[in-house]
Every structure is written in structure tokens, then in C-alpha cells.
A and B are shown apart, each in its own frame.
Chain A
Amino acid sequence: MLKIENLHAAVDGKPILKGLSLEIAPGEVHAIMGPNGSGKSTLSYVLAGREGYEVTEGSATFAGQDLLAMEPEERAVLGVFLAFQAPVELPGVGNANFLRTALNALRRAKGEAELDAMQFLKLARTRMKTLGMTDEMLKRSVNVGFSGGEKKRNEMLQMSMLQPRLALLDETDSGLDIDALKLVADAVNALRGPDFSALVITHYQRLLTHIVPDRVHVLAGGVIVRSGGPELAQELEASGYAGVQDGTPSKRSFDGSPVAA
């Protein structure tokens, strides 16, 4: 399970997370909502171990292991997967090659046999079909020239191939049409089980009608200001984040921008 206690983190010396605590039990999916700039991506980067995201206080453990002491690739081996808000382009690196290298790096680290090109291709094709992706996507450079929707699907393809135990989805639904959104939800739901946890960062309640979360949290000003069941998401969508701000309620729409009075 994921256990975050009193987490403080700074970027460029500027405090962003200010004492965040959160527990996700095995088999649970939690959602995080909150205005822009509240620290949602920062949280996902801190958990995944990105350079420059400095933890100043607190702890984060997964499956009993101290996440914060591990290299990013060690966290990946442990089962942490981050679906990036803005997936990164790797010019000249073939998508299939990247995916297979990643899959085999994880398998190697776990002492499992690596997949050869044929085994890999077979698996990838099955997964791509369910995500509505074509073979052609395997030949292109990783995320280069992909549309926004294609990038997000590609993240989901990676997730479904790498079979994480903890998936962090950072606004994977943003910019997706309803069909693509359903495919993303299907990919997450397919992984749900007693040994899988997820943290789904989103602005929109509509994703959460397809991935029904066990808990919903509101992140504002670097701390969790409110938690509840799935109904909290609906409430937020209706009323915005007004009233849930970190002690200083101000009128903001759900994307964080001030609402004209």
C-alpha cells in the first residue's frame, strides 16, 4: 500500500507540498482533484523520484519500502508507474523499441525472462487493439508528432504492458473525447485487483464515472483539504473549489481560474 505522511516538498527552494498525508490500501483507487497549481503534478513527480523535486520533510512508502530513498528506475521496478500529464518526446527512439526495452528492464530486474521481439509484438498488438491503436504507432518515434489523444493512449499502452502495482495518472483524461476517455478507464479498470492501487489526478468528474474511486481528495495549497467518497467529485464539479481552499476560500472555477463575481 501507499502511505504518505506529512510530506513537504519544494521546487527551486519554493515550498509546494506542505504536509500532505494520504493512504491508499491495496486494491483501492483514489482520486485527487484540485485547482491548477495546487501541487498535484508535484506530488506525482515526488512519488516517482524526479530530480529537482526536493523532499524537505515527511515520508512516502510503498509496499513497506521507503520510496524516497530509491532511484526512479528502482521505483519503477517496485511497480510505480506515472502516466505523465505531458508525455515526453524521444526523437529517433522507436516506440516499440522503447516499450520492449522498458518491459525487459523491469523483467530483468525482477529476475524474469526477457521477451523476444516476437513475444513482445504479440503482447503489444493485443493491448493496442483494446486501446484502439494501430500497429503504425509502434513504428513512430516515442510521442513525436503524436496528437494529444495519441500521447495519452500511448501512456495507457505502456501502463497495460508494464503492469504496475501503483499507477499515478496525472490528468490522463484531459483533452480526450468521450470514446478515448472510456478506453483509458477500461485500461485502468482492467488492472484493478487486490494487488493494484491507483492515484487518479483529474479535474473532471466524468472520468470518475468510468473509474469509480474508493476515495476522492481535494488538494489545495499543498495539502489535502477535504476527503470523501465518489459523491465528493460530483459536488466539486457542481460547485467548483470554492470553500475547499486552504483556509482562504476564494471563488475559483474548477480549473483554478478566478471566477468573475
Chain B
Amino acid sequence: MPAVTETIETVQAVTEGGYKWGFETDIEMEFAPKGLNEDIVRFISKKKNEPAWLLEWRLKAFAMWQKMEEPRWAAVTYSPIDYQDSHYYAAPKAGPKSLDEVDPELLKTYAKLGIPLKEQAILAGVEGAGESPSDSGRMPIAVDAVFDSVSVATTFKHRLEKDGIIFCSISEAVQEHPELVRQYLGSVVPQGDNYFAALNSAVFTDGSFVYIPRGVRCPMELSTYFRINAKSTGQFERTLIIADAGSHVSYLEGCTAPMRDENQLHAAVVELVAMDDATIKYSTVQNWYPGDAEGRGGIYNFVTKRGACRGARSKISWTQVETGSAITWKYPSCILQGDDSVGEFYSVAITNNRQQADTGTKMFHIGRNTRSTIVSKGISAGRGQNTYRGLVKISPKAHGARNFTQCDSLLIGDQCGAHTVPYIENRCMSAKVEHEATTSRIAEDQLFYCRQRGLPEEEAVGMIVNGFAREVLKELPMEFAVEAQKLLQISLEGSVG
């Protein structure tokens, strides 16, 4: 059964309110000592048996990070983070070498997460298992699962290898394909790009790696499930996707975390590279623990995502559904270098209770006739604060560049906030930039109409909100769109009545 089917069932099975992924898995873990210094960076690199160049790369990043200041320009407030009071490496002790060796608790976790349990054998790395299409008859989905600091398993690897596609954890890629990693790592988001990217570069532990060869259309959705489980740990994953000329790939990431009173830091870096005529579609369903109704606990989701459209006619499309995290600070961006390249950003961000989101995108138009589309749907409820922050920058040589931006905000209740901060820097006469923005509330007559037809109030709100977000949701791979719709409704529980 594909991951998504079980995920949907997981969501559907739950009827009561609250965060449904807040369970904690009690398995034996190996931790690095708390704190952050050069020795920790060396410890991580050693654990991963990394080549010397990568250790050097990490240490350089660490040195940069130490000289940097935490950014404060986002419209979010939180108490200072003590970077020394956290573990930077946490891994399940039982390595998933064979099914017998897999800690049953870990498997239970994946069952709860909706990762296809039928593929347990694959998750455990048993050779040849699960390489036939799933019996549901649907398109299989290859899954990489990252549990705290390590990737525990990747499914459908061998099937993908037939097309020359590499889909594995970044740690594995460092060992097996060092030349690719060395060529592209940090080529889109350099170590010193920003405070959190520098931190990630120093201490990243795992993440996914994808390489699609020339002219290959990836035959299935690739997806990664990230899970923070251990206490007092940060998660610093690093994802690198390279689509060679004429290739095509659709990738989806999902994430959840246990409910805890403490705030946990998640500082990921995602780099995408698209060559001539290549297309990368990157979708995120972000459902980290948002904290409780009073704002205790929850994940700080400080993430740098950027794609480079290096080749002519290449295309990178970001779609994100951000429902979780106490704080989201995230601007998936596109560098449109290749002539006629295309960047897209479709976003739904929900903030309920005390959640804060400052999210948006940056579109850098460098090549000729580059085009970008930005559709942002912000939904604020409770005391949630939702900011769209975007930059459209058009360089003098980007003749014929075009951007269209649409930012819509929906307010539920009167204690939440929605803010739109669009920056436009256009230095090219022949470029065209359009911006539209609206702010609205769920109308009383819409709610009444739905309820008159028999929908309970929360279901009615969910329906109206999903309608509001439809332009974005329809960009998700179809199976995930269903999951995302349910998530939107669940995220708004308690926001009405």
C-alpha cells in the first residue's frame, strides 16, 4: 500500500481533537553529548565516516556560524535559543540491517506515521523486497525515512536504479557518489548564506539525495518522511536534488514530531539544481508539532530552501502546505538563471492558537524571458500570526521577465493577524511584475449555508478554508492533496465556536 493511503487512514482514523502525531517512540538511542563546538562537528563527521573534504567543509561552516548573528527581521517573536543545550546527533541504536534487527518500536512509529508497513522488509533493507508494484494497483511511491539524525531506510531503490536514478540518504550518497555530492553541495545555498544555513552546514546529520540522469522521467513520486523523536535534539537535515538535462522528478516531504513542552529546533537546508529542460516539483506537507493552545512547546522550523534553474527552459515548482510548527521561517526560492526558465511557489500556511509563520519566496530573475508565479494563501485563526514575505528581483539583463504574485489572507476570529510584505526590485525595463492581494474573513452566510446543509461547524470551516486554498492544493500530487485537505481541517480544530 502506498505511504499516502496509510497516511490518509491514519488521519481519518482519528476523531478527537488535538495533534495526532504527538506520540513518542521509546527506543534505545545513541546521542552526541549536549552542546555545540568543533569537537561535536568532528564527532558527527566521524560517525558518518566522512571524507576529509567534507569535515573541512563543515568546520568552515561552523567558523562562519560563530561569527554570525541570529536573524531578527522576521515578524516572529520567541525567547533566545540556547544552542548549547541541545544534542546535535541522535540515532536509533538498532541499525535496520535486517527485519529481525529492526527495533519493533521503530516499526510501530512508521505505522503511526503512515509509512507503508507492507514494505517493512524494504525499510529494513532486505534485498529485493517490495520491488514489485504495490498490489493496490496505484503508482508506487518511493520513501526515504529520516528518524532524528539518520535515514533509516529507502524503498524502491533497485527499481529506480534501473533508470539510473539515485535516491538514497545523503550520508549514503557521500559514500557512494562523493563526486556528485562534492560538486553540488552548497552550490545553491553556500555555507555562509544565513545563520541557520551555516548551522545546518556544520552539523547536518542526514536527509535525502536524488539524482535524475539526463532525459529520465522519474517513474514514481519520491518522498521523504522526517521525524523528530528524541528529546532535546535538533534536526538538521540536508536534501540535495539534481535533475540533469531533460529529466523530470516530483518529490514530496512530510514531517511530524512528538508533543513536548520544550521547543525543538529544525534547521534544514534543501538545494535543488535543474539543468536544461529539467523539471523539479518539490512539495512539502509540514506538520511538525505546533505547540499547545497556550503556545508551550512546538518546533522552530527555520529552513532554507532554494532551487537553481541553471539550464534553459528548466522549471522548479515549490508547493508547500504549512500547518505545523510553533514558528515557521521559510522562503523556498528560485534562481532563474537559464533563459526561459520558470519558477513557481504555491503556498498554504495556517497559523492557529499561538503559531507564527513568516514565509514566502524569493524569485531571482537573471535569464531572459524567465517567468515566475507566486500564489500564497495565508490562514490565521486563534492568536496566530501569518506573514507573507516575498522578493521578486529582476536583474537588468532579464529581458522579457514576468512575475505574477497573488497573496490572499483569510482570517478566522478577531485575535489573529495577517501581514503581506512584498518586495519588488525591478531593474529591467521590459520586465513585467504584477501583484494582487486580498484579505477576507469567513463570511457568516457561507458558514450558515454549509451548516444548513448538515455540516457541523468545524467541517464547514474546513470546507470553506479548503476552497480558499484550492489553487494551491491542486498543485500537490493527487494522493497527497486529499491528505492535505484533512490536515487543514484538523489544524483549525478549536478555532471556531
Binding site for B on A (CB under 8 A): 48-52, 71-73, 75-77, 81-82, 84, 87-93, 97-98, 101-103, 105-106, 109, 141, 158, 162
Contact = CB atoms under 8 A, between A and B. Distances in A.
Interface string B440-477: 00011110111111111101100110111111000000
B467 A77 contact: no
B9 to A, nearest CB: 15
User: Which of B444, B452, B460, B471 is packed against the most chain A CB atoms within 10 Å?
Assistant: B452
A158 B453 contact: yes
Contact of B463 (A77, A89, A93, A162): A93
Interface of B: 443-446, 448-457, 459-460, 463-464, 466-471
A158 B452 CA distance: 11
A89 B449 CA distance: 9
A18 B126 CA distance: 78
B468 A76 contact: no
Given A48-B452, A51-B444, A158-B453, A92 B470 contact: yes
5 contacts: A48-B448, A48-B452, A49-B452, A90-B464, A102-B455
Contact of A76 (B454, B457, B463, B467): B454
A91 B454 CA distance: 19
A170 to B, nearest CB: 11
B469 A73 contact: no
Contact of A92 (B456, B460, B466): B466
A92 B448 contact: no
A109 B446 contact: no
Given A90-B463, A98-B463, A77 B451 contact: no
A73 B449 contact: no
A105 B455 contact: yes
A220 B443 CA distance: 30
B56 to A, nearest CB: 51
Contact of A50 (B448, B454, B456): B448
B445 A88 contact: yes
Contact of A77 (B444, B454, B468, B470): B454
A216 to B, nearest CB: 25
User: Which of A51, A89, A101 is packed against the most chain B CB atoms within 10 Å?
Assistant: A101
B471 A92 contact: yes
B451 A73 contact: yes
A77 B466 CA distance: 23
A19 to B, nearest CB: 25
Contacts of A76: 451-454
Contact of A101 (B445, B449, B463, B468): B463
Contacts of A77: 454
User: Which of B450, B464, B470, B471 is packed against the most chain A CB atoms within 10 Å?
Assistant: B450
